[in-house]
Amino acid sequence: MLYPLVLIALAAAPFALVARFAGRDRIAWGLALIPLAIFGLTLAQAGSVWEGGQVVERIAWVPALGLDLSFTLDGLSLLFALIITGIGTLIVGYAGHYLATDNGLGRFLAYMMLFMGAMLGLVLAGNVLTMFVFWELTSVTSYLLIGYKHDYADARRGALHSLLVTAGGGLALLVGLLLLGQAAGSYELSDILAAGDVLRAHALYPAAVVLILLGCFTKSAQIPFHFWLPGAMQAPTPASAFLHSATMVKAGVYLMARLSPALGGTALWDVTLAVVGGATMTFAAIVAMRQFDLKAMLAYTTISMLGALTMQIGLGGKYGAEGVATNILAHALYKSALFMLAGVIDHECGTRDLRRLGGLRAYMPRTMVITALALLSFGGIPVMFGFVAKELMLEAALETELGAMLSTLAVAAIAVTAGAYLITGWRLFSNTFLGQRSVAAMQQHITDPTPGMLIGPGVPAVLSLIIPLAFLGPISSLIGPASAAIYGKPLEVKLALWHGVNTALLVSLGAIAAGAVLARFGEQLANLRGWPAWMRGDMIFDRLIERTLTGATTLTRTIQEGRLRRYILLTALALLVFVGVPFVGFGISSIRFDLDPQLQFYEILAAALIPVGVIATINARTRLGAIIAVSVVGAMVALLFVLFSAPDLSLTQLLIEVLSTVFLLLVFSVLPVRFENFSAAWVRRRDAIIATAMGFLMGGLVLATATNDAFAPLAPFFLENSLEKGKGANVVNVILVDFRGFDTLGEITVLFIALLGIYGLLRLRQGKDNVAPERVTTTEPAAEPVDTKR
Amino acid sequence: MHRNELPPPNRLPSRSTPRDSALYDSLILRTVSRLMMPLLLLLSIYMLLRGHNLPGGGFIGGLLAASAIILQMVAFGPKTARRILPVNYLLLAAFGVFFGAIWGLPAMVAGLPYMQAFWLPEPIPGVGKLGTPVLFDIGVYLTVIGVTTKIALLLVEEPILFPLPAMKPSPVETEDGV
């Protein structure tokens, strides 16, 4: 029962719209029962996973392409599915409080449900193509979530950045997955994972790895694609909490972890992941330390943690696998709590700027306690779950098989990061809760929020404390299968708080001590001069978008300058190059000139009149004359159809001829009677050459098609089967509506689209003419609302 | 783009046309087209139905019907043509595509590939054998009528191309009952 889980989440989305009515907080908690139900249903199937097996389901989707919607629940999927639905439950309920005054809550929760469904589909997918579909769905739905406050320019920009970066990476990923499937001979994950040795030796391996990593790095905000994630904090806080802690950005990590047994073990994979991940982790931790916006601070720590996860996958080994699984859970718990707490503070104080907060300990004691718990876990302070996770990360760095240099670098990077986390945590805590009561706090009556709003952050924060103290055993049975899936081999996992005095503990304690000392200077560090703004990734990306658009506009203006004759010219030239050149190269030899021995003189006469009509058209002095001359061509073609016994074609040709004459007369009746020659002589000569070439090309193509033996066997089939299978004696019509009915359906669709195009062209221009000038001037763009929350 | 430099339209329909704005003002044409209209429409349906065994079919039938309507438009003007057959041709074209597409579905319900044909066992008197391809052909017929007629109407009703007297006070209404 796996795909119903995804379906429930997706199908629940429309029901979330009821949250637009009053009593939003209660409705939201009611809606939170949906993810809770999925959580329960997932947990109910966990038994077989814990016994070392997995749940597999398969629905035929496009059998002709060998494409199945297959779903698999194994240790890693289970861990992710539980995190997604568990955190999702809390966040949906929390959102009801956070957005209680927002009429769009229903829409927001609908996006959340869709996103959750996409995310569940991604982690449960048992086929890389199925996974890719859900991967793209998460990009789209997260775009909707980030751009939820679409009347703010920053929200639109953040949403667009995230979409462009992740969807761009998604394209690379698609190609990478296709290469992977080619190399492994199957798109099923189980087959790919079983084909590890074949894959690593395959010629496509490097290309597939690079493309897949490009997809994962963009999704998981690794350097140099990290910049979209801070922009994504423009989403309402509940969405940020969900995207950052449990879902979206973890998708890349999930895929890397998932594929590492198959693709890992080579220098390309391991070293790339370790280096990029380590660099991202350290860089983002230092940047996070220097932020003043609560959410920006948390966003950078998220990037840092994603780097840490990527690095651990690269470092590999038993501890690497365990570290990834444990850190994913630990991070999801404390980060969702912290984001929701940032939302609480923002919600109560109207600001999340550290410089404007302070002294809240007297007003929000409960919030302070929960924040402290979450921050302790974030800082990796002993007895918190974050500490357990960090120890494993250090073990992974110490035990890695990538050589002494990378091992040392990784340990150093982790130590620096751990220190930076402490400083970040201390700055966050002291600037918010300690010190003088700030101006912002004095301006309004600040209290703890309703208990309902504190459930969201409270549960994961408390879990961060309770799990290591009391539940390490049960959690080990959750982490174990997940680690085994990442490791690729069965693995016995026994998480422990106390490993004895070892190198990892010493490094950890050293980092804590250094962080504690440096935390006193946190504000000075934050106020140091940073990089100039133009060097920031999002600014560079903005310029990139701008340049691309300018380039596209220039190109479009060159090609589509608005004159029909230019369009025809370019179309003809393109056809001559892309069809004509290959045709001359390969197809021209298949033309045969078979002269019909029973050729009659009237047939020759009809055919000979066609070029006469063409020449007459070109040389016509008046428009009416040209129309008549063109009609001669059409009439002769119709006559030829009659002579060669094709009455259907002939009828159609004649009717079309009549109607097009009417249309031409309609249009030409408003043009001058006589043609005037505006073109220069060389233009006319050029056009004549191109037209002649086109004529020869099309004639040659028809001749080649007609005399090519490859197509001959079709006609007898139609002739024989028309009456019997098509129940009609008119073979042409039977082909049109039965044998090739699908083609005809396509053709009438094209006809209709052409009509829409003409309708748009004529009516839009009319509309433009009708718009009174004063209407344009009075409808000024709505003033940009001032975003007070930033 | 040289529109402004061109001389004024040379052969616009006469401004004093009694019927809204015929493109070609002729008593003979009006009389003939009035007589021809039902015949042409009948012929188009005949062509549509006989198409499966003899020359004809939805495409030809549709073009014939469209010609009949366009003939009205030429003889009497677009307003009258719209009044004689008060049809939204844009919707008709859309419906035609839709109608053509749905008759492929029964096969899918039966587990066969899309558009696999089904036939009634016995021919229906006056119509002939009836099956999903015939119904699909009706979709083609409707689409062709809608598209062709709508394009003609769009061109004729284009105010820049044809600044019709209908847009000014005209004696259309008074002459109508004659």
Each residue of A718-745: pLDDT tens digit? 778 777 777 777 888 888 888 888 889 9
CB distance A357 to A351 below 8 Å:
yes
* Residue B79 in domain: yes
Mean pLDDT of A382-406: 86
Q: Around A10, how many Cα atoms within 13 Å sit in the side-chain half-sphere?
A: 15
CA distance B28 to B37: 14
* Residue A578 in domain: no
Across the interface, which of B114, B119, B162 has its CB nearest the CB of A727? B119
Mean pLDDT of A103-121: 89
Assembly ipTM:
0.80
Q: In a 3-state reduction of DSSP, which class is residue A71? A: strand
* Residue A482 in domain: yes
Residue of A309, A306, A333 lying closest to A323 (CA atoms): A309
pLDDT tens column, A669-696: 777 888 887 888 899 899 999 999 999 9
Q: How many CB pairs under 8 A join A and B?
A: 155
CA distance A15 to A387: 40
CB contact under 8 A, B161 and A666: yes
Number of domains within chain A: 3
What residues make up the domain containing B111? Answer: 19-163
CA distance A452 to A481: 34
pLDDT tens column, A231-253: 888 888 888 888 887 777 888 89
Report the C-alpha dihedral over residues A213, A219, A223, A226, rounded to 10 degrees.
170
Across the interface, which of A655, A733, A749 has its CB nearest the CB of B67? A655
* Residue A692 in domain: no
> Residue A114 has which token pair?
């869709």
Q: Which of A650, A676, A702 is the last residue of a domain?
A: A676
* Residue A156 in domain: no
* Residue A340 in domain: yes
> Which residues are within 8 A (CB) of A783 and not within 5 positions of it... i.e. 6 or more apart?
none
Same-domain check for residues A342 and A478: yes
Across A660-664, A679-683, B137-141, the highest mean pLDDT is recorded for B137-141
Confidence (pLDDT) at A442:
66
**In the block, which residue shows the tokens 């099923």?**
A188
Query: Which of residues 119 through 158 in chain B touch A, CB cutoff 8 A?
Result: 119, 129, 131, 133-134, 136-137, 139-140, 143-144, 146-148, 150-152, 154-156, 158
* Residue A576 in domain: no
Q: Give, as one character, the DSSP assignment of residue A634.
A: H
Radius of gyration of chain B from Cα atoms? 20
**Chain A neighbors of B1, CB-CB under 8 A:** 562-563
* Residue B178 in domain: no
> Residue A613 has which token pair?
């009509």
**pTM, two decimal places:** 0.71
Same-domain check for residues A420 and A348: yes
Q: Which of A632, A651, A676 is the last residue of a domain?
A: A676
Number of domains within chain B: 1
CA distance A324 to A326: 6
Q: Report residue A516's pLDDT band, with 50, 70 and 90 as the boundaries.
A: confident
Q: Measured between CB atoms, does B88 come within 8 Å of chain A?
A: no
Ranking A21-25, A151-155, A489-493, B157-161 by mean pLDDT, the lowest is B157-161
Report the C-alpha dihedral over residues A95, A100, A102, A103, rounded to 10 degrees.
100
Instruction: Examine the pLDDT at B43 and tell me if it is beyond 50.
Output: yes
Query: Which of residues 528 through 567 in chain A touch B, CB cutoff 8 A?
Result: 562-563
* Residue A470 in domain: yes
Q: In a 3-state reduction of DSSP, which class is residue A501? A: coil
Same-domain check for residues A425 and A325: yes
Q: List the Cα angle A51/A54/A56 in 5-degree steps.
A: 155
> Which residues are within 8 A (CB) of A24 and not within 5 positions of it... i.e. 6 or more apart?
A96, A99, A100, A105
CA distance A321 to A488: 9
**In the block, which residue shows the tokens 């690079």?**
A210
Across the interface, which of A651, A662, A751 has its CB nearest the CB of B147? A751
> Residue A238 has which token pair?
């509940």
Q: In a 3-state reduction of DSSP, which class is residue A208? A: helix
What residues make up the domain containing A508? Answer: 271-487+497-528
* Residue B31 in domain: yes
End-to-end, the C-alpha distance of chain A in Å comes to 44
Q: Which of A630, A650, A676 is the last residue of a domain?
A: A676
Q: Best of A755, A756, A765 to disrupt the B interface by mutation (most B CBs within 10 Å)?
A: A755
CA distance B86 to B91: 12
CB distance A146 to A235 below 8 Å:
yes
* Residue B115 in domain: yes
Q: List the Cα angle A332/A154/A218 in 5-degree steps.
A: 50
* Residue A292 in domain: yes
Same-domain check for residues A437 and A345: yes
